[in-house]
C-alpha cells in the first residue's frame, strides 16, 4: 500500500477585485474551507503534516492551508473601496472553527508567507495597491500569537518587477530563478528570516519561493547547506501534486487557487487525485 501524502493549497488574500468566487480570494477561501470539510479532508498545520509524513503516521486526506505575499488581509479585516468589507483569512478561520465545532477533526492553521522588506512592501503598496496600507507588518506578532496563523518567509523583496531595485545583482526582476549566487541568496533568504523574526517574534520555519521559482543553486546547494542553520525546515514551490515522502523538502509542491482550481468541483478533483 502506498503511504499517504498531503495536499498544500495556496491563496492570495490581497486578490480582491469583485465579490465573486473567482474574483475574490477572501470569498474563495471561505467557500473552499467548507468544501474541504464536506469532502472529509482534514486541515493540519504544515509542520505537523511534514512531521507525521516522515514518521509514517500521516492520516489520509490531510490538507495544508497557505497564503502568499503577506498582505494585511491574511490577518486583518479591510474595508475595500469597491468591494466593501473583507474579513481577512484569520476571521474566516475563526468563523469556520465556530461553524464546524471542536470535534470536526481539524487542526486549523494557515502558513502565511510574507515579503519581508518594509521598503519593498511600501513601494508595492504605493505603486500597485493605491497606497491603501495593505502591506504593513504591525499584525505579524499578533498573528503568530493567535495559534491560527504563522508568518513565514516569502523572501526579502520577491524580486518583484514593480520595484525600482531588487536584490538581484543586475536588477533583473520578475523571476526568482535569477537569484543564483550566495550573496543574492543571503540577501533574499537570510535577511528575510532575520527581519521577520525581529518584527514577528518568531523565526520563519518555511520559505515559499515567489511565483514558485527557484534557481538550481538555491534549491540544490544553498538551502541544503545553509537552510537548517537559518531555522528553515522546508521550502515550497508551485508544482500541483501531493507532498509525499519522496518530495524534495527544498521544493515541496502545492496547488494555487485560480491556477490549479477555479471551482469547488476542481478542488474536489484535486482532493480525489
What are the cell numbers at 99? 461553524
Kindly indicate the confidence band of residue 3, based on its pLDDT and cuts at 50, 70 and 90: low
**Rounded to whole angstroms, how far apart are CA atoms 82 and 71?**
18
Q: Say if CB 28 and CB 20 are below 8 A apart.
A: no
Q: Which of 200, 196, 208 is nearest to 66 (CA)?
A: 208
Q: Which of 167, 107, 114, 174 is nearest to 139 (CA)?
A: 114
What global pTM score does this model have?
Answer: 0.97
Cβ contacts of 98-104, under 8 Å, gap ≥ 24: 99/34, 100/37, 104/37
* pLDDT value of residue 273: 86
Determine the 3-state secondary structure of 8 from DSSP.
strand
Answer yes or no: is pLDDT of 112 > 80.
yes
Kindly indicate the confidence band of residue 1, based on its pLDDT and cuts at 50, 70 and 90: very low
Kindly indicate the confidence band of residue 12, based on its pLDDT and cuts at 50, 70 and 90: very high
CATH homologous superfamily for the domain 6-272: Glycoside hydrolase/deacetylase (3.20.20.370)
Cβ contacts of 18-27, under 8 Å, gap ≥ 24: 18/82, 18/83, 19/83, 19/84, 21/263, 22/258, 22/262, 24/83, 24/86, 25/257, 25/258, 26/73, 26/86, 26/87, 26/88, 26/89, 26/92
pLDDT, mean of residues 209-238 = 98
Mean pLDDT of the chain: 97
The proportion of the chain whose per-residue pLDDT surpasses 70, expressed as a percent, equals 99
Please give the C-alpha separations between residue 152 and each of 68, 102, 171, 271, in angstroms, as whole numbers.
Answer: 9, 26, 25, 25
Q: Say if CB 63 and CB 43 are below 8 A apart.
A: yes
Q: What is the pLDDT of residues 200-223, one digit of tens each?
A: 999 999 999 999 999 999 999 999
* pLDDT value of residue 2: 53
Amino acid at each position: 500500500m502506498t503511504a499517504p501524502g498531503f495536499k498544500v493549497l495556496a491563496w492570495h488574500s490581497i486578490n480582491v477585485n469583485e465579490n465573486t468566487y473567482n474574483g475574490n480570494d477572501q470569498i474563495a477561501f471561505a467557500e473552499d474551507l467548507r468544501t474541504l470539510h464536506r469532502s472529509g479532508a482534514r486541515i493540519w498545520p504544515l509542520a505537523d503534516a511534514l512531521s507525521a509524513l516522515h514518521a509514517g503516521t500521516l492520516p489520509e486526506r490531510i490538507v495544508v492551508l497557505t497564503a502568499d505575499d503577506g498582505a494585511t488581509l491574511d490577518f486583518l479585516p479591510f474595508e475595500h473601496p469597491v468591494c466593501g468589507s473583507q474579513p481577512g483569512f484569520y476571521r474566516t478561520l475563526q468563523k469556520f472553527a465556530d461553524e464546524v465545532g471542536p470535534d470536526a477533526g481539524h487542526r486549523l492553521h494557515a502558513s502565511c508567507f510574507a515579503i519581508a522588506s518594509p521598503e519593498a512592501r511600501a513601494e508595492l503598496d504605493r505603486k500597485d495597491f493605491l497606497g491603501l496600507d495593505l502591506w504593513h507588518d504591525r499584525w505579524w506578532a499578533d498573528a503568530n500569537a493567535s495559534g491560527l496563523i504563522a508568518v513565514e518567509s516569502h523572501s526579502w523583496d520577491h524580486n518583484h518587477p514593480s520595484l525600482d531595485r531588487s536584490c538581484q545583482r543586475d536588477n533583473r526582476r520578475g523571476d526568482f530563478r535569477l537569484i543564483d549566487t550566495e550573496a543574492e541568496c543571503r540577501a533574499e533568504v537570510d535577511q528575510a528570516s532575520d527581519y521577520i523574526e525581529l518584527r514577528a517574534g518568531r523565526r520563519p520555519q518555511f520559505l515559499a519561493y515567489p511565483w514558485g521559482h527557484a534557481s538550481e543553486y538555491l534549491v540544490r546547494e544553498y538551502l541544503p547547506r545553509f537552510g537548517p542553520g537559518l531555522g528553515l525546515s522546508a521550502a515550497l514551490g508551485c508544482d500541483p501534486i501531493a507532498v509525499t515522502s519522496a518530495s524534495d523538502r527544498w521544493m515541496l509542491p502545492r496547488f494555487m487557487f485560480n491556477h490549479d482550481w477555479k471551482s469547488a468541483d476542481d478542488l474536489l478533483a484535486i482532493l480525489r487525485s
